[in-house]
Amino acid sequence: MATTAKKTAQRQGFKTGEHIIYPSHGVGLITAIEEQNVAGFSLELLVIEFEQEKMTLRVPVAKIASVGMRKLSEASVVKKAFETIKGKPRVKRTMWSRRAQEYEAKINSGDLISIAEVVRDLYRSDAQPEQSYSERQLYEAALDRMAREIAAVQKQSDAEAVRQIEQILSTAPGRPAKTASTDDDGQEAAA
């Protein structure tokens, strides 16, 4: 009995059948906990499947904290993420390559609020100027990561979560209306 309690403590409360967040891959499902012998040492591994990427990852229990793996966000964090995307976009006046690196780091941080900031900052309505290919790629990656976690927390489909996020973004104050015409002033504010 004591060894079971010890192993559960080492796993930091993670168990099979539970959805988790792995920072660089997003939402995964713990499908099994295996024990393997590697170079004479016995390793306990969490087997995590990422359905979207069609990938399986085996994470040593000892590495859970160092890789940044965490449980799904609480409902209060999801609410804060929705509040974040309602805010006014913050775009630094630095070179795109520097901003792209910062956005990529936020997406791969696994932090829902940081990912929501990227979604907010890179969202473009129909009334705003066209995005570059790399901006669109980062926006799509952030939106996908955010939607998949929200879908898992709220037990809904990814598509429903995307619709919910885009609905909030399109009605957020400070965004140009869909029917507005784009003139020099509109482009200046959105750039």
Percent of the chain at pLDDT > 70 equals 84
Gap between the Cα atoms of 121 and 139, Å rounded = 9
Flag whether pLDDT at 131 surpasses 90: no
> What are the pLDDT digits (tens) for 11-70?
667 888 999 999 989 999 999 999 988 888 888 999 999 988 889 999 998 888 888 899
pLDDT per residue over 140-161, tens digit each? 999 999 999 999 999 999 999 9
pTM, two decimal places: 0.80
Task: Report yes or no: 160 and 151 within 8 Å, Cβ to Cβ.
Answer: yes
Sequence-distant (6+) residues with CB within 8 A of 27 are 19, 20, 21, 50, 52, 72, 148, 149, 151, 152
**118: burial class by Cβ within 10 Å (0-12, 13-18, 19+)?**
buried
For residue 97, how far is the Cα from the chain centroid?
21
SS3 assignment for the chain: CHHHHHHHHHCCCCCCCCEEEECCCEEEEEEEEEEEEECCEEEEEEEEEECCCCEEEEEEHHHHHHHCCEECCCHHHHHHHHHHHHCCCCCCCCCHHHHHHHHHHHHHHCCHHHHHHHHHHHCCCCCCCCCCHHHHHHHHHHHHHHHHHHHHHHCCCHHHHHHHHHHHHHHCCCCCCCCCCCCHHHHHHHC
Cα 4 to chain centroid, rounded: 32
Taking the domain 75-190, which CATH number applies?
Answer: 1.20.58.1290
Tokens 């775009």 appear where?
Answer: 91
Q: Where in the chain is the domain with CATH 1.20.58.1290?
A: 75-190
Q: Indicate where the chain has its CATH 2.40.10.170 domain(s).
A: 8-71
> CATH number of the domain at 8-71, please?
2.40.10.170
Q: Which two tokens stand for residue 147?
A: 């939607």
